[in-house]
Structure 1
Amino acid sequence: EGINPVSYSSQLEDSGCDVSNDYAFDSLGIASDFHQSEHNVDTSKCLLEGVPPLSLCSTSKKSLTAPVQFLQHLLEIRKLSEEGILQADFTELENDSVTVRNSVSQLLDGLTVFYNSPKFPVSNFLTEAVSVLISFITNNKLSNHVLKKCFKKLEEFKKNLIQIILRNSSVNRFQALHAVSHTLVLLGRNNILRNSLISLLLPEVRKFAEQLLQAQQIQAMYDITQYENIFPLCMILEQLLQNETEESNVSSADYDGEEKIRFLENLDQIILHLSDEFPLFSLFLWRVSVLLNSAQIQ
């Protein structure tokens, strides 16, 4: 009998933390605020002057504002061009995209700074910055340029977000972890980024499972903070694999096969040994293994 995946937001609510509905996942792991951002950006949000100021240093906000505005305007020009309202030639992006590359890089660096702050505010401005980034990498005409020029930067960004989740030890960290996890799931809307993200998450979850098993076998203490922080990664991984399985036109063979083999190796035995003491984590391991195997069959 199948087990329905537990929604991300409901599990965070179980933690006792107040999670804003603005960041609740729907059945595809995508916040309702971003439903319309895949193909276009809401032009009514293009001006950022009215956004409430962040409680971080003004330099960090300023470093984000310029690339956000530039990329918003570029997306809007692309939209108008596709609708025939405006004649715009984007072929130069293929040959000279320094401005686009720099803007995306600055945006990623700025988001990393905010997410790395122990008390970063979940504000409309931050939501808008993420929305622009996701719209850019999911735009059919512009995403290829971004991936060609900024793939390494995007990989670094994803690795940084994963480490931010794993290393966060703040007492009231769960809403912050949710916002970071939400961004990773949104990045997974791009097939190429999703496959590389799956390859990054698999070894992290497997490594923790092995560490937990070792601690159990020698009856050693384990870090409860690390145990709590691994669950967002498990949820992200499950969501990405589930999305991939539901998209019949996407092949699961695109992500690293070696990481998949390492993850599944002797996993049944690990689950068996951990299931009594760590039933929830064992359940996540089992569900991820089922999704990996079902994708392989397809």
Structure 2
Amino acid sequence: MEEKAASCRQGAVSWYIRVSRLAVAVAIIKSRPSGGARQFAESLADQLRLQDEGWRSKAQGLHDDLLHLRQELLLTRLMFKTRSNTEPGQGQEIAKVLSQDDPQPLKGDSGCDTDNSSQTHINIAKGPCLPPTPPNSQNFPLQDRQWRQDHRLVKHMQFLQCLSGLRRVCESSLCRDGDVVWDSVVQLLDSVVEVFRQAHVGQPLLHPEQLHHATQVVAQTLSRGGTRHGCSVQHFSKVENLLKEMISLLLTNQQLDAFSVHEVLSECLLALGGSCVLRTPFIQLLMSEILQLAQQLWETCERSREELQHPMDWIHYQNSFYVFWLLEQLAQDTNSNVNQELVIDLETKAFTLADEFPLFSLYMWRICGLFRVGHQ
């Protein structure tokens, strides 16, 4: 009897297993995509990508909100420290401007002034204004990418302008809150670069004066005392990467309106090079780009002698004029502590290219002379 009962139980278990497998197989068959496994996998990948982009966008939005609150807190604290020497309501007015969804200039024709034994000027009204706010802005999904870019750019620029106006009374706070300042600088510079990214793919370049003004604000902010207050390696690395990207966009642009974009981009880069913090690394980045292009030209000459086909990047070659122009402008400041090994490398490459690319070689030789004079 016991053996028979055990056999029955084993048979029931085996039957349940077979039924379960059959149910799973039927479920899989019914859930099989109509377009095949490949189409289903691609659809699933797209869903995951959209979900990942959504989370990234949400995280970026939260980061921007947090930074904006820290900006308001920093300015409010600075104005509170100087409230006894400040005109009534000026501190609250500055904080109110930053808290608005649609930033507007401060009242008055020339911004607001704060007094601290000597007057410190905050020039807000002279800066560029934000484009009109989209209708129903409170419920607006912000699908207008251009409006979002300009809004982000002006908000960070306005904060840095206010902070620059308080520079005589906030130096100590900058040392403690440099993370807020540098994060704002990175966000503002990234907003500027985003506009040039769009111009690089054929989008019209709107508000060039606003871009130039934004880079001037960045340079002014980073020139405070000539030191990197509160700057982490990560922040400075981000700024350098954005500078590299701007140089790359300058060298690779081949759109129909390239000349107008080059002019604006060159002026923006020159403004950034005016910062005593960025000047030296910026010059070295420009020299490195010239050296890389010189190496490509030399390799092209060598391969042409061997009768091997090797296409030349003439776009880089033509646009290198703007890099030389930037170096010539920056060479007028003799305080730049440029690595002399780069200067020697430029001089060496200049002689090797003298026969095949005389104009390029002449520009390199001229740059070497300018920066050698600056160190004599």
TM-score, normalised relative to structure 2? 0.56
Deviation at 1:161, TM superposition (A): 0.7
1:30-49, aligned counterparts within 5 Å?
42-46=123-127, 48-49=129-130
1:110 to 183, 186, 191: 191
Deviation at 1:109, TM superposition (A): 1.2
Deviates more, 1:148-157 or 1:158-167: 148-157
> Structure 2 vs 1, CA of residues 51 and 44 (structure 1 numbering), >3 Å: closer, same or farther?
farther
Listed one character per residue, the Cα deviations across residues 185-211 of structure 1 (whole Å, up to 9, x for unaligned) are 122222341111121111211221232
Task: Letter of the 2:354 partner, please give it.
Answer: I
1:126-275, aligned counterparts within 5 Å?
126-140=211-225, 144-145=228-229, 150-217=235-302, 218=304, 221-241=311-331, 243-244=332-333, 247=334, 250=335, 254-275=337-358
- Percent same amino acid among aligned pairs? 26
Whether the 8 Å CA contact 1:51–1:125 is kept in 2: the answer is no
Task: Letter of the 1:61 partner, please give it.
Answer: D
Map of 1:33 onto structure 2 = none
Distance of 1:182 and 1:46 partners within structure 2: 17
Whether the 8 Å CA contact 1:112–1:161 is kept in 2: the answer is yes
Deviation at 1:43, TM superposition (A): 4.2
Deviation at 1:49, TM superposition (A): 4.5
Task: Letter of the 2:198 partner, please give it.
Answer: S
Whether the 8 Å CA contact 2:153–2:191 is kept in 1: the answer is yes
Distance of 2:191 and 2:130 partners within structure 1: 18
Map of 2:89 onto structure 1 = none
> Structure 2 vs 1, CA of residues 89 and 229 (structure 1 numbering), >3 Å: closer, same or farther?
closer
Distance of 1:148 and 1:65 partners within structure 2: 24
Whether the 8 Å CA contact 2:212–2:267 is kept in 1: the answer is no
Larger radius of gyration, structure 1 or 2?
2
Whether the 8 Å CA contact 2:160–2:221 is kept in 1: the answer is yes
TM-score, normalised relative to structure 1? 0.69
Deviation at 1:232, TM superposition (A): 0.8
> Structure 2 vs 1, CA of residues 270 and 292 (structure 1 numbering), >3 Å: closer, same or farther?
farther
Structure with the larger RCO, 1 or 2 (CA within 8 Å, 6+ apart): 1
Q: How many residues align?
A: 238
Task: Letter of the 2:316 partner, please give it.
Answer: Q
Runs of 5+ in structure 2 lacking a partner?
Answer: 1-119, 135-143
Listed one character per residue, the Cα deviations across residues 231-285 of structure 1 (whole Å, up to 9, x for unaligned) are 11111122212x13xx3xx2x5x3233323322225323224422xxx3x23312
> Structure 2 vs 1, CA of residues 146 and 137 (structure 1 numbering), >3 Å: closer, same or farther?
farther
Deviation at 1:133, TM superposition (A): 1.5
Map of 2:361 onto structure 1 = 282
Task: Letter of the 1:274 partner, please give it.
Answer: F
2:363 equivalent to 1:295: no
Q: CA RMSD in A?
A: 3.0
Distance of 1:168 and 1:175 partners within structure 2: 11
